[in-house]
Amino acid sequence: MRYLSKSALARLPLPVHVLLLLLAILPGLNRAEDERAAVEQRLADSARYLASDELEGRGIGTRGLDLAAEYIAGRFAQYGLKTELFDGTPYQTFQATTTAKPGENNRLAFVGPPLEPGGDPQRIELRQGEDFTPMAMSGSGHVDLGLVFAGYGITAKKENYDDYAGLDVAQKAVVILRHEPQQANPNSVFNGTNHSEHAPFVRKLSNAFEHKAAAVIFSNDQFEIRRTVAETHKRWQAALDELAGEHAEFKKLESPSLDEIERERKRMEELIQQVNVWDDKLEAAADPILPFQAGGGESQPRDFPVVFCRRALLDRIASSALGTSLTALEEQIDQGPAPQSRPLEGWRAVGDVEVQREKAEVKNVAAVLEGEGPLAEETLIVGAHYDHLGWGGPGSMLPDEKAIHNGADDNASGVAVLLEVARTLALRQEKLRRRVVFLAFTGEERGLLGSGHYVAHPLFPVENTVAMLNMDMVGRLRDDKLIVAGSSTAGRFAELLDEVNPSHGFQLSKTPSGFGPSDHTAFYARKIPVLHFFTGSHSEYHRPGDDFQTLNVVGMRRVASLVTEIVVAIANAEKRPEYVSVAPERGPAGGERPYFGSIPDFTHSGPGYAISGVTEGGPAQRAGLLAG
Ligand SMILES: [Zn+2]
């Protein structure tokens, strides 16, 4: 906007009082524009710094993550917020797993009844890495436990199917097959064409724990083996065909030169090598053990041993104890589906399971803005995670590429917006009626570690925490489209959004559930109403190219403005938002591990991992959703 020149004013055919009015408000309009520019400058400064290479992608265990924490803490203090919260600091520290690997002293044997009366017990020694492997989500410990076959390890009320019905697995090692009954059966009571929410390892572990099992032994299901063998066989056949084709071509030459013969010899060697590779893979496909990391969950280990075991060995035990094969049991299960669970009488698993975990100290960063009046003991939380994937690894879309994943949208954008909301509220003349706690979470990408830690160790009681607003990936506003999850988690949230939004001009896309792949899930699991703001996914998601230049800073300013208004509305409302229980949406379920392992089992209560009581759907129902 420009000021009008005197001569321009003279030529305007406007009444004098209109001109005077214009003159009065023009500087005001200009101030508003300056103010917007200043907000955008601050947002850009924060996001640019947090997403700079200096901060190394803010991975767990990097110096960059600590620098980010210091930056956030510095801003909170600069705005005059209360930051002497944990031993005089804004840092809520705890230990997080940085890496997990199988220990060196894993040993396992299956010990069974003697073949002849008075003889020695049967003993099947398992070789680590060939016959069995601990899984990344395993705890460590000695085992000497009776074995029980528990089918697919599924308890599915709606489908009226329970592998544990009438089965006592207390203090036993349960043998569980991967996936679920009736696969590729269009009439399956489960998904049939894909895997249902009962298939993931985490779900099966929770279920085993609920039934008081003391260890879990996973093995491949017959369907999976057939599928992998068929696929591998195709590749093996293709390699063989290529070899035959090459040979046929060569035979057509009437008198090949020495050069041509030498070239052919080399080519044949390569092709034979290729056939051999597929030959080995074909053999392995018949009874593979999964990689250590296959089930995810390295950051949220269970209290009990979890191993993966070759099927052939368990088959031997099934035939010894039950006089039948695993395949026969699976076929019987499929016919109902009807569980075929039973103790593997006389057989025990004996050994030691060890997973080594390296830990690092990590921290949430917090700041408090106190409220005033009778509602001042109620708390509203505004949060955003500040960690990202660091140099890549398992959470990356390019897991084998070692490159800084700057995480500008995910989630430097959310932190920048969090800081701006904090600043605006801190500068308000009038105090809010409720307290606002600003939280920058760590370890989100490792499975909501920071938010999970906070709800277990809150600054102010969870019962008096009236709502949580989360921002994760708010830097890519396109066509005004803003996704707000959790719109049905409190009685009036959807209404509130509709009331506030018109002056902000977003195309709101409201999703009802409070469960999703970001930190709000930890709060919603504690029955706290949540709203989660998100500008949508994109092709740089969890890739090294999620860089500052791709951010829509104007969009971030608009999100900050909307969130600020919602914070004020909730903080000053007569009544606190009323929690409403909403079942998780059914995501495009399918995998056996939650999407990139970043969605933990938030439904556990106490030291173990039980699934009942907290949510209406299981954690696996969140599997397959986009992780933020
Ligand atoms: Zn994120």
pLDDT tens figures, 335-366: 989 999 999 999 999 999 999 988 889 999 99
The rounded distance, in Å, linking the Cα atoms of 587 and 158 is: 17
Is the pLDDT reported for residue 296 higher than 80? no
The residue that leads in pLDDT, 59 or 583, is 59
User: Could you tell me the distance, in angstroms and rounded to a whole number, from the CA of residue 442 to the centre of ligand 1?
Assistant: 10
The CA–CA distances, whole Å, from 59 to 207, 588, 624 equal 32, 28, 23
| 318 assigned to some structural domain | yes
Tens of pLDDT, residue by residue over 148-158, are 999 999 999 88
Residue 336's pLDDT is what? 85
Cis peptide bond upstream of 552, omega within 30: no
Task: Return the CATH number at 476.
Answer: 3.40.630.10
Split into its structural domains, the chain has a count of 3
| 618 assigned to some structural domain | no
Name the most confidently modeled range: 13-17, 26-30, 114-118, 320-324.
320-324
The residue that leads in pLDDT, 227 or 37, is 37
| 592 assigned to some structural domain | no
Question: Could you tell me the residue range of the domain that residue 199 belongs to?
Answer: 104-220+291-353
Average pLDDT over every residue of 359-382: 96
Residue 623's pLDDT is what? 29
| 628 assigned to some structural domain | no
Task: Return the CATH number at 214.
Answer: 3.50.30.30
| 50 assigned to some structural domain | yes
Q: Say which residue the tokens 């390296």 belong to.
A: 358
Average pLDDT over every residue of 250-266: 90
Is the pLDDT reported for residue 377 higher than 50? yes
Residue percentage of the chain with pLDDT more than 70: 89
Confidence at 585, pLDDT banded by 50, 70, 90 = low
Tens of pLDDT, residue by residue over 386-422, are 999 999 887 888 888 899 999 999 999 999 999 999 9
User: Could you tell me the distance, in angstroms and rounded to a whole number, from the CA of residue 518 to the centre of ligand 1?
Assistant: 6
Confidence at 385, pLDDT banded by 50, 70, 90 = very high
* Pairing assessment for the beta strands 530-534 and 481-485 based on DSSP bridges: antiparallel
Residue 614's pLDDT is what? 25
Residues 215 and 321 in one domain: yes
Residues 255 and 339 in one domain: no
Is the pLDDT reported for residue 12 higher than 50? yes
Query: DSSP string covering 27-53, please?
Result: HHHHHHHHHHHHHHHHHHHHHHHHTSG
Lowest mean pLDDT among 240-249, 321-330, 604-613: 604-613
User: Could you tell me the distance, in angstroms and rounded to a whole number, from the CA of residue 582 to the centre of ligand 1?
Assistant: 22
Residues 568 and 425 in one domain: yes
Is the pLDDT reported for residue 439 higher than 50? yes
**CB neighbour class for 15 (10 Å; exposed up to 12, middle 13-18, buried from 19):** exposed
User: Could you tell me the distance, in angstroms and rounded to a whole number, from the CA of residue 102 to the centre of ligand 1?
Assistant: 28
Residues 253 and 110 in one domain: no
ipTM: 0.95
Residues, CB-to-ion distance under 5 Å, ligand 1: 410-411, 472, 628
Average pLDDT over every residue of 51-66: 95
Average pLDDT over every residue of 200-222: 92
Please count the helices (runs of H) and the strands (runs of E) in the chain. 13, 18
What would the two tokens of residue 410 be?
């995910």
User: Could you tell me the distance, in angstroms and rounded to a whole number, from the CA of residue 539 to the centre of ligand 1?
Assistant: 14
User: Could you tell me the distance, in angstroms and rounded to a whole number, from the CA of residue 304 to the centre of ligand 1?
Assistant: 30
| 322 assigned to some structural domain | yes
Average pLDDT over every residue of 46-64: 95
Residues 400 and 547 in one domain: yes
Residue 67's pLDDT is what? 97
User: Could you tell me the distance, in angstroms and rounded to a whole number, from the CA of residue 410 to the centre of ligand 1?
Assistant: 5
Residues 511 and 398 in one domain: yes
Residues 153 and 261 in one domain: no
Residue 11's pLDDT is what? 55
Task: Give the distance from CA 159 to its chain's centroid.
Answer: 26
User: Could you tell me the distance, in angstroms and rounded to a whole number, from the CA of residue 502 to the centre of ligand 1?
Assistant: 27
What would the two tokens of residue 188 be?
């399956």
Residue 291's pLDDT is what? 84
Strand partners, 511: 485
User: Could you tell me the distance, in angstroms and rounded to a whole number, from the CA of residue 444 to the centre of ligand 1?
Assistant: 7
Average pLDDT over every residue of 80-99: 94
Residues 559 and 578 in one domain: yes
User: Could you tell me the distance, in angstroms and rounded to a whole number, from the CA of residue 36 to the centre of ligand 1?
Assistant: 26
User: Could you tell me the distance, in angstroms and rounded to a whole number, from the CA of residue 542 to the centre of ligand 1?
Assistant: 9
Residues 185 and 78 in one domain: no
Collect all residues with Cβ–Cβ distance below 8 Å to 251 and sequence separation of at least 6: none
Confidence at 295, pLDDT banded by 50, 70, 90 = confident
| 8 assigned to some structural domain | no
Residues 60 and 134 in one domain: no
Average pLDDT over every residue of 9-34: 70
The radius of gyration of the chain from alpha carbons, rounded to an integer in Å, stands at 30
User: Could you tell me the distance, in angstroms and rounded to a whole number, from the CA of residue 610 to the centre of ligand 1?
Assistant: 26
Average pLDDT over every residue of 187-205: 81
Lowest mean pLDDT among 15-19, 75-79, 97-101, 486-490: 15-19
The rounded distance, in Å, linking the Cα atoms of 349 and 141 is: 13
User: Could you tell me the distance, in angstroms and rounded to a whole number, from the CA of residue 451 to the centre of ligand 1?
Assistant: 12
